[in-house]
Structure 1
Amino acid sequence: MKSNRKMWVWLGAGVGSIAVAATATVALGVYNVAADEPHSRAVYMLLEMARERSIEVRAAKLQVPANLNDAERIRQGAGNYNAMCVACHLAPGAAATELSKGLYPVPPNLSKQPVAPAEAFWVIKHGIKASGMPAWGLSMDDEFIWNMAAFLQELPKLDKAGYQALVESSDGHSHGGGETDGHSHGEDAGTDHHGSGEEAVMGDDHGGSGMSVGEQGTSHVHADGKTHTHAPEAGKQPATPSPESGHDQRSSMPNKATEPAPKVDDGHDHQH
């Protein structure tokens, strides 16, 4: 009896010591959460086991569509993969990207590593905490997620040319998500759809720069990161948004009833 009591005392003391040590580690910021310093072997193994078992248990409850090998599913999923996943999970013949190098844990190269359909669906839909993997299900319909899962079954079998051909035959970034209002980003890829409002931001061809139009005037953001704001003409009211285009149509163009405004050299190249 005394032996059992002594064992429980030592066990309780051990658990208490571990709890105190863990609390002190967290409170003092001892553990380094930087992505460029790997976890210790023990921590990494624990997290990997938790991740794998969590996905396996939940994916086992899913019903995989019978027509997952349908060519149309695979073709449609290819476009979304290329738009949403390739920067992290790469493509056949592609080198590692800045994003794939910087993430930790390192994202798997899905052009070389197959993923079971149900597990692929679950991860794409729900994401993985503290890994950089988003929950695409918040903006993507299940049917389109299954299409991506279908494509992932074919991806490891493709070479660079086969991948490019399949992506080019796809509709592009189209998954019924709220950010596209249900429209495809295929043939008109690069067109930015904006809602109207007091201030709209419109992309242009200044290498990633944009133009912001508001009541205070017109602001141009250039590739060098500098912003230039042009005040509206005195006494001139801002134009109202066009209901047809969804864009704010207020412009810095001169009034047609007056002479054209002189061109001002602000030190930046405005050629389109």
Structure 2
Amino acid sequence: MQRRIAVMALGGAALLWSCGCSVKPPGDLETRTVQWTKHHVTVGDRDVHNPVPDTSMNVDAGKQVFGYYCVVCHGRDGQNTGVPFAASLSPPIPSLASREVQSYSDGQLKWIIEHGIAPSGMPAAKGTLSDDEMWQAVDYIRHLPPAGSLGEPQVYSGNTDNESGR
């Protein structure tokens, strides 16, 4: 009797596993529902405004922060240029220039940087970056260069020098 139950349980588990092998990409309704949920429920600080002025000095400072902490996953241009694993992760690493990412408020982008996104692999920067550094990174994300214009991250080209010059 126990063997029969164990065989049925294993068979059921195998059936469930095989059903997930041919999962289709989400449709328009599912995509819009997930985006709405992320923007209105999951990601906090929607109405928080960036206290760091949007100046070229702060954008450059944000580029330095980004170059030190973010390029390995997001590429030098924030659009995954030269990042070999960006599309193969689940979920894939989004281009920070995409309409979806750019539609987040400054407060939401800072919240994502500060808290990370589990289980996506996006680490939390709380305790690593100061509030000003996170806000400056948001300023840089708002002013990303054209895709591919900065080349690939040095870590993938064999150069071990730091991207930011730190």
The answer to whether the superposition gives a TM-score over 0.5 is yes
Cα contact 2:81–2:148 (8 A) shared by 1 = no
Where does residue 58 of structure 2 map in the other structure? 73
Q: What TM-score, normalized to structure 2?
A: 0.62
Structure 1 portions without partners, runs of 5+: 1-23, 165-170, 174-184, 187-272
Structure 2 portions without partners, runs of 5+: 1-8, 154-161
Q: Rg larger in 1 or in 2?
A: 1
The Cα offsets for residues 96-134 of structure 1, whole Å up to 9 and x where unpaired, read as 522212212112112455353222111111111111111
Where does residue 116 of structure 2 map in the other structure? 127
The structure with the largest strand share of the pair is 1
Change (3 A) 1:141 1:37: farther
Task: Quote the offset at 1:94 in angstroms.
Answer: 6.4
RCO higher in structure (CA 8 A, sep ≥6):
2
The Cα offsets for residues 231-263 of structure 1, whole Å up to 9 and x where unpaired, read as xxxxxxxxxxxxxxxxxxxxxxxxxxxxxxxxx
d(CA) in 1 for partners of 2:59, 2:22: 37
RMSD: 3.8
d(CA) in 1 for partners of 2:129, 2:50: 17
Q: What TM-score, normalized to structure 1?
A: 0.40
> Which of 139, 143, 151 matches 1:150?
139
Cα contact 2:59–2:137 (8 A) shared by 1 = yes
Where does residue 260 of structure 1 map in the other structure? none
d(CA) in 1 for partners of 2:147, 2:81: 16
Cα contact 1:55–1:119 (8 A) shared by 2 = no
Change (3 A) 1:40 1:155: closer
> What amino acid is the match of 1:59?
D
The structure with the largest helix share of the pair is 2
Q: 2:72 aligned with 1:95, yes or no?
A: no
- Paired residues in the alignment total 138
- Percent of aligned pairs with the same residue? 18
> Which of 20, 37, 42 matches 1:50?
37
d(CA) in 2 for partners of 1:95, 1:159: 6
d(CA) in 2 for partners of 1:122, 1:87: 20
